[in-house]
Amino acid sequence: MKKRIFALKNFSLNALEAFAGFTLRQNITGVMKKVELPDELFPLRDRVECLLRKDSFSLINEDGKTVCRLNLTEIEVCSAGSVFNFSFAELIPLKGYFGEFCIVQAAVEDQGGKETKKLPVIYSVRKAGFRSDAGKGTVEADKTPDAPAADVIRNILIRLINIAEAKEHGVLEDTDPEFLHDFRVALRRSRSAFSMFKGAFPPEEHEYFRQKLSHLFARTSLARDLDVYIKIMGQYRAVLPDSMQDDLEPVEKYLTAMKKKEHEKIVGLINSEEYSLFKNEWRNFLGRAVYGEKGMQRVRDAASEVIKNAYAKIVKDGRKLDNSSPASDIHKVRIGCKKLRYALEFFRPIFPSKQADAVTKKLKTLQDSLGAHQDYEVQREKLLRYTEEAAKGMKDKVNLSLASGYLARYLDELKCSERERCLEMIDSFISDKVRAQIKEMIK
């Protein structure tokens, strides 16, 4: 027999004694003290602090024999003024008392204890929303379909602000453009999760924070665009004939200079009192049990409604499309797909995995095509604009203009080809088959 660890909620020692029929004797009374994060969580050590207290007990039968040992661990995960509390029971079996051990385990499970294979510190830090690599911003709800919608969304949003904060240092250092990208993904997911459940929170606070999140996201957009265009300039060079490959150099220099200025703005933003105040306000709001008119609705019912409406919007917009539709109309479908994707990812644990995975797989493929179509459209427009800006003050603009025009035609061709694929995939995604899968998933 091996020891077992259980994550606890609303645990009572008295209830444990009453259920198991054994007497508890406390051997060690612990004190709360700071513990070092394990190597697995090393990247978080400068941002996350853990405090731990462990109390040890023996369980005694009627004959006065110790039949099992119990360690109760309390953990506080602290970061940026926020505190997350977790409790664990560690059951240690003793030779010759397997039956008694099973009784104690049943008593713990009767109070909602859930076994975990992770160390309590690692479990707690991850449950609080922190990851050693901060991930890509993907966050799922706990498997609690009957929980109030506002509580579940609040938990998701806390994890997302933790992820955004985990990226701040990398954004400031600007060593890799992916830090800014992941920072923005966490903000965008936060805005989406907050907006899609409009009635979960009081209207005034909902609108206030929705605008704050949108404003913050918008202020980082240009820097991200510049990162993307600087990266793809190498691809553009490869497309051009050999004689033209150096003619885009003025655009590259312009983009690099612009990125430097935008990065300075972002550094100022992240280090600003305004941003610090927003985070404090946001965390304080998420730490309060406030509810709108739909805040107490079962999260499964609320999520089902969101998924149903998001898919209906895709169907409505998708049916209007044909070969003559402007790129902006196709982009509407792309936005709708993004909202549906977020909802499916947020609430995947509370829906049947077979249907959820099938819909998500098909949706990802559609999103890839829609994203490529939008990229070609936007890249063409911005390439011409950046070329115009870079050419200012140049005496000889002919070669730059020719290279830019060549690429614009190339991007047009790619967009037209991708458009046909997009329309076919949209038709497939709004088919009766996918509609039935979603209906079966949320029933």
State the average pLDDT for the chain.
Answer: 90
| Local confidence band at 136 (pLDDT 50, 70, 90 cut-offs) | very low
In this prediction, residue 370 carries a pLDDT of 94
Q: What is the pLDDT of residues 187-211, one digit of tens each?
A: 999 999 898 888 999 999 999 999 9
In this prediction, residue 284 carries a pLDDT of 93
CA dihedral sign of residues 355, 359, 360, 365: positive
| Local confidence band at 357 (pLDDT 50, 70, 90 cut-offs) | confident
Structure tokens of 286?
């998420």
In this prediction, residue 314 carries a pLDDT of 96
Q: How far apart, in whole angstroms, are the C-alpha atoms of residue 48 and residue 45?
A: 6
CA 291 from centroid of its chain's CA atoms: 22
81: number of Cβ within 10 Å: 10
Q: How far apart, in whole angstroms, are the C-alpha atoms of residue 388 and residue 175?
A: 29
Structure tokens of 32?
């709360």
Q: Give yes or no for residue 135 having a pLDDT over 80.
A: no
In this prediction, residue 259 carries a pLDDT of 95
In this prediction, residue 159 carries a pLDDT of 86
Return the top range by mean pLDDT from 92-96, 265-269, 289-293.
Answer: 265-269
| Local confidence band at 144 (pLDDT 50, 70, 90 cut-offs) | confident
In this prediction, residue 266 carries a pLDDT of 96
Q: What is the pLDDT of residues 7-33, one digit of tens each?
A: 998 899 999 999 999 999 999 998 999
| Local confidence band at 134 (pLDDT 50, 70, 90 cut-offs) | very low
In this prediction, residue 140 carries a pLDDT of 59
Residues in the chain: 443
Q: Are 53 and 30 in contact (CB under 8 A)?
A: yes
